[in-house]
Amino acid sequence: MDNAVLELRDLRFSWARGQPDCLDIEHLRIAPGEALFLHGPSGCGKSTLLSLMAGVLMPRQGQVALMGRDWQQVRLGRRDRHRADHVGYIFQQFNLLPYLSALDNVLMPCRFSDMRRTASVQQAGSPQAEAEAWLAGMGLERALWTRAARELSVGQQQRVAAARALIGRPALVIADEPTSALDEDRRDAFLDLLLSACASARSALVFVSHDRRIAQRFARQVSLPEINRAAHREGAAG
């Protein structure tokens, strides 16, 4: 599993013992700096797969390795640190702390990860300087940086969430349907910013959506139902 940001091998997952697998994936590899569009209809297991990639869920069988380390071989107490060091996550509902300012939300990963804090210092001189640079790069007006997250529009919160994911230049950025609440123009503008930002940070990007209209923006496209052997078995049984 060398030289891969993320690699899955013989992954099998079910929600309860004795239940059929809902995910069965032979192999998936994501290279440094790669932009991957992962698509499939609602309910096909996309968010579950992202949780496995991020080490929030553990597979029933097989390996999920982030930066060469199998999540199941990382001690439970160190999984949060490994995730904080290497993964920037953009949630569908953004999950900003509503009472913190936009700037303080962006700074959160540097408070949990010495690695990302050090990367920020090397990149911009300080975490605050890099946070400000990402907010500016995301097109958020300076006057909004000190405003509480709950006072921001959906589009503004989305940009803050992206800046938070990118600070400290993590190896992997995971985006779970972050454009689902946006109209077409704002969706396209956000994609421009996110793809450019990940390229600048040299972060691999896994972008999940059921909206195939944006697939052409990505160098690589993967259909979860096509690589999920559990879905094939279910279809055959049906």
Nearest Cα residue to 192 out of 142, 156, 138: 138
DSSP string of 200-217? HHT-EEEEEES-GGGGGG
18 inside domain = no
137 inside domain = yes
70 inside domain = no
Q: What is the pLDDT of residue 35?
A: 96
- Taking 70 as the pLDDT cut, the residues of the chain under it are 1-2, 233-238
Q: Encode burial over 59-94: b for 16+ CB neighbours within 10 A, e otherwise.
A: beebebbbbebbbeebeeeebeebbbbbbbbbbbeb
| Tokens, residue 150 | 């709950």
Residue 119 near residue 169 (C-beta atoms within 8 A): yes
Count of alpha carbons within 13 Å of 151, Cβ hemisphere only? 10
What tens digit of pLDDT does each residue of 148-196 get? 999 999 999 999 999 999 999 999 999 998 888 788 888 888 999 899 9
Q: What is the pLDDT of residue 186?
A: 84
Give 182's DSSP letter: S
Domain housing 210: 34-55+75-237
19 inside domain = no
28 inside domain = no
136 inside domain = yes
Q: E strand or H helix at 144, and its extent?
A: none
Nearest Cα residue to 2 out of 68, 63, 66: 68
What tens digit of pLDDT does each residue of 116-128 get? 999 999 999 999 9
- Amino acid symbol at 148: A
d(CA 114, CA 109): 9
Does pTM top 0.85 for this prediction? Answer: yes
66 inside domain = no
How many structural domains are present in the chain?
Answer: 1
230 inside domain = yes
| Tokens, residue 97 | 């702390």
d(CA 69, CA 2): 10
Q: What is the pLDDT of residue 234?
A: 61
Q: Is 90 helix (H, G, I), strand (E, B) or coil?
A: strand
Hey, CA dihedral for 93, 97, 89, 194, is it positive or negative? positive
Count of alpha carbons within 13 Å of 174, Cβ hemisphere only? 23
d(CA 168, CA 86): 9
Q: What is the CATH number of the domain that holds 124?
A: 3.40.50.300
d(CA 46, CA 25): 12
Q: What is the pLDDT of residue 233?
A: 66
